[in-house]
Amino acid sequence: GHHWGYGEGDGPSAWHKNYPVAQGSRQSPIDIIPHQALQDRSLGPIVLNYDHCTSINISNNGHSVVVEFDDSDDRSVIQGGPLDNPYRLKQFHFHWGGKGCEGSEHTVDGYGYASELHLVHWNAVKYCSFGEASTAPDGLAVLGIFLETGDDHRWLHMITDALYMVKFKGSGTEFKGFNPKCLLPSSLHYWTYLGSLTTPPLHESVIWIVLKEPIAVSEKQLGKFRLLLFTGEEEDQRTRMENNFRPPQPLKGRKVRSSN
């Protein structure tokens, strides 16, 4: 298949060669400008039903660290807000920078955060699989949460303590009973807009819901993400996994709406 990454030759500026939709009309991420967002009173609160969620495993896919869920029923769903249906939780993963650098994908008034958590959901009411949903304009809903450096996050250690087991690309391990509700900020106020996957194949199938309030994690906790490698155990060249974020893309006339 088409190899892509975040390096000089295979990074975001080269993705359009194998994935022309990279220059499409609803690409993500974007720079969110709060004062230009439309306050939409018809936008209700988002509702997260993660209480019976069933994480399965944690793995390094060579681009990020991913926690996958059993999405064979509607145990863990997001609904409300801009969504017409409940969307089923499939996985979550992170994007982050290098030491002291920014690493979020969305920015706010040009300001980047240290990292960004993506909770990926798919519309199982209208589509039969994640794959099918991932190519539909209303197929996916991704909840984005900013991470800023500050105090230790009391629950993130459950993730960071497992990272040594998934150091290499292609490594994975069982990771059961983790409920991502513990990674949410206190406010669920959000911005929402129509966008895309932020990595190849960059499908324009995502309803983005980006929470306004970041969560705080310590520099020590973030540093553990940077011990991960883009490369596999069998490769000679060890490349540290960091700066795995796509920069903001042109808005192309899209409107960003704001929950109240």
Q: Is 142 in the site for ligand FFB (CB under 6 A)?
A: yes
Q: Is 26 in the site for Zn ion (CB under 5 A)?
A: no
Residue 224 or 246 having the CB closest to Zn ion? 246
Q: Is 192 in the site for ligand FFB (CB under 6 A)?
A: no
Residue 118 or 224 having the CB closest to ligand FFB? 118
Q: Is 130 in the site for ligand FFB (CB under 6 A)?
A: yes
State the binding partner of 210 from ligand FFB, Zn ion, none, CB within 5 to 8 A by kind.
none
SS3 145: strand
Residue 233's nearest CA partner among 143, 170, 140 is 170
Site for Zn ion in 99-128 (CB under 5 A): 118
Residue 208's nearest CA partner among 1, 21, 76, 31 is 31
d(CA 237, CA 244): 18
- Least separation, in Å, of the C-beta of 17 and ligand FFB? 17
For the residues of 237-260, what is the DSSP string, one character each?
A: S--B-----PPP---TTPPPEE--
**Binding ligand FFB by CB under 6 A: which of 198, 221, 249, 259?**
198
Indicate the helix (H) or strand (E) that contains 13.
none
Active site includes 63?
yes
The one catalytic residue in 63, 93, 153, 203 is 63
d(CA 18, CA 1): 10
Residues that bind Zn ion (CB under 5 A): 118
